[in-house]
């Protein structure tokens, strides 16, 4: 963990997500992740806001790729040269995730608390 990083509980993150999805302005995106691998680092942030239709969300996802260490200048050229294919791949992955979410979550929200608990605990 980086110095100064504060970890929050999943419940608190879920509360922040719901507040942002309802239109409550958040200073920071409620979902943030960092992946560090060798000479590169990727930061991801996702922030919801109310959608056009009742109950819908629109989610803004930001991905930032950076080089690390002495190879930083060389690593930073990759995303610059491959910006469009990378953006297309990320957009397709997010569309797939949204499709899966929209297909599965309505079924789960229709379940009662006990059925939901059984369903979530039964799946690997």
Q: Using one digit for the tens of pLDDT, what is the confidence trace for 31-69?
A: 888 988 877 888 989 888 888 877 778 888 888 888 778
Lookup: tokens for 11: 């419940």
Q: What is the largest CA-CA distance in the chain?
A: 54
| CA distances to 4, 22, 51, 92 from 59, in Å | 27, 12, 9, 14
Beta bridge partners of 92: none
Question: Do 31 and 8 belong to one domain?
Answer: yes
Domain that holds residue 112: 82-124
Task: Identify whether 106 is part of a domain.
Answer: yes
Question: Do 52 and 6 belong to one domain?
Answer: yes
Task: Identify whether 109 is part of a domain.
Answer: yes
* Domain total of the chain: 2
Question: Do 20 and 48 belong to one domain?
Answer: yes
Task: Identify whether 76 is part of a domain.
Answer: no
Whether the full predicted model's pTM is greater than 0.85, yes or no, is no
């Amino acid at each position: 963990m980086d110095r100064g990083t504060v970890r929050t509980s999943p419940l608190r993150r879920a509360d922040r997500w719901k507040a942002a999805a309802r239109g409550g302005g958040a200073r920071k995106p409620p979902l943030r992740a960092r992946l560090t691998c060798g000479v590169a680092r990727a930061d991801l942030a996702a922030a919801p806001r109310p959608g056009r239709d009742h109950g819908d969300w629109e989610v803004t996802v930001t991905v930032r790729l950076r080089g690390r260490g002495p190879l930083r200048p060389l690593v930073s050229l990759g995303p610059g040269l491959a910006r469009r294919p990378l953006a297309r791949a990320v957009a397709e992955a997010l569309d797939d995730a949204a499709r899966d979410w929209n297909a599965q979550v309505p079924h789960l929200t229709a379940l009662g608390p006990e059925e939901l608990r059984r369903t979530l605990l039964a799946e690997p």
